[in-house]
Amino acid sequence: MSAKVGVLGAGAWGTAVAKVIAEKGIDVDIWSHEKETAEDINLRHINSRYLPDVVLPENLRAYTDSAETADGKEFLILASPSLYLLDSVKKILSVPSIREGETAIGVITKGFIPTAKGPRLILETLEDYLPGFYRQSLVYIAGPSHAEEVSRGKITGLIAASESAKQSIHFRDLLKTNRLLVFSSFDVRGVQVAAASKNVIAIAFGMLDALKTSAAERGMEDIFGDGTESLLLAAGLNEIQTLGRAMGATHPETFTSISGVGDLDVTCRSIFGRNRRFGREIIEKDILKPYSSLDDLITRISEVGYLPEGVVAAKYVKMLAEQHNLKMPISLGLYRILNREITPLEFLHAFIKDLG
């Protein structure tokens, strides 16, 4: 397959996806907002900050100008974090191939986008800014995956969701290898909701996991086990599906397939999960102590040293649950923890009591 491909976002996931494509013999340009990361990729063929110890192909080149990276590409993959995604897109609107709709666009960012209308799904928000060519033709790519594993050739499955079957197939063919399996879906809204809201559940799972493994040494009653974690995971999946239906998901099987239960499971249980890690550090390191509220935490999120997307998503899931009048005790409980209203133990006991 011969194509020109651009990736906007040189974080771990953007770099991993770019590597997979480049290893197929396709030239890939990747944009980094950090000059040091771009130099690292171009001179040493590694991304030591976001994806250390992974050697990158020489036909993967890095740039610090997003418009230059996007210009003239057949495919463009958006990989900036949700907090910055819209700003990234605004900077490429004048690129000729984007302005004329000549570049197919896929998105691998997970989360919601804040707007004057409240939190919205990524694709519908981008459609309001991109030229009309892109309406109903953007492709959303998600699934149970970690950059650390995909970049090392571990077998992984992804979903390419789009209202355009043609575009979904194009991105499926671009990404798939004998170790990266890609499936198509028409349930664009359901896949996006699952990808964004599972990060919220994963933070709660990380807290429970830390409590389960350290109860005795913390002088606590040893009441949390593997079954408790499965209880939380199942209840969390129910909340994701509840929100998905309210936001227009079209296929129930979305939530019982890899983009639903698969993505939730790996995000909660994998050692690579940043949201699980953040949840554990709430217990183990009292990482919330310096922050007065969730908004304060989001404003100063760079101080954490990594980006747990579930922190931002927790704020928006709460707003959406209230907007749609949904009962989502895990998500709303986590919001209250991050907002410094209750402690993790108070939340867990209230959650278990609510289930009973």
Tokens of 342: 């209750």
| Residue after which a domain boundary falls, among 161, 186, 211 | 186
Both 181 and 203 in one domain: the answer is no
Whether 198 is catalytic is: yes
Both 54 and 159 in one domain: the answer is yes
Confidence (pLDDT) at 221: 66
Helices (H), strands (E): how many in the chain?
A: 16, 8
Q: Is the pLDDT of residue 220 over 70?
A: no
Both 344 and 270 in one domain: the answer is yes
Q: What gap in Å lies between CA 21 and CA 177, rounded to an integer?
A: 9
Both 244 and 151 in one domain: the answer is no
**Three-class SS of residue 320?**
helix
| Residue after which a domain boundary falls, among 143, 158, 186 | 186
Both 216 and 129 in one domain: the answer is no
Residue 38 marked ligand-binding? no
Both 234 and 256 in one domain: the answer is yes
Q: Is the pLDDT of residue 42 over 70?
A: yes
Both 169 and 214 in one domain: the answer is no
Both 209 and 349 in one domain: the answer is yes
The arithmetic mean of pLDDT across residues 90-117, rounded, is: 95
Both 232 and 89 in one domain: the answer is no
Residue 302 marked ligand-binding? no
**245 CB neighbour count, 10 Å cutoff:** 17
Query: Edge-to-edge strand order for the sheet containing 4-8?
Result: 60-63, 27-31, 4-8, 75-78, 104-107, 139-142, 156-161, 180-185
Catalytic residue among 19, 73, 198, 315: 198
Both 219 and 257 in one domain: the answer is yes
Instruction: Of 321, 271, 268, give the one whose Cα is nearest residue 119.
Output: 321
Task: Find all residues with CB under 8 Å of 93, minimum gap 6, and list them.
Answer: 99, 129, 130, 131
Confidence (pLDDT) at 223: 80
Q: How many domains does the chain have?
A: 2
Q: Is the pLDDT of residue 1 over 50?
A: no
Tokens of 228: 């408790």
Residue 300 marked ligand-binding? no
Residue 151 marked ligand-binding? no
Provide the residue type at 239 as one letter. Answer: E
pLDDT grade, residue 85 (50/70/90)? very high
Residue 309 marked ligand-binding? yes
Residue 97 marked ligand-binding? no
CATH of the domain at 229: 1.10.1040.10
| Residue after which a domain boundary falls, among 186, 216, 244 | 186
> For residue 143, what are the domain limits?
4-186
Q: What's the farthest any 2 CA atoms get from each other in the chain?
A: 64
Q: What gap in Å lies between CA 297 and CA 290, rounded to an integer?
A: 8
CATH of the domain at 9: 3.40.50.720
Both 168 and 51 in one domain: the answer is yes
Predicted TM-score (pTM) of this structure:
0.94
Q: What gap in Å lies between CA 213 and CA 235, rounded to an integer?
A: 21
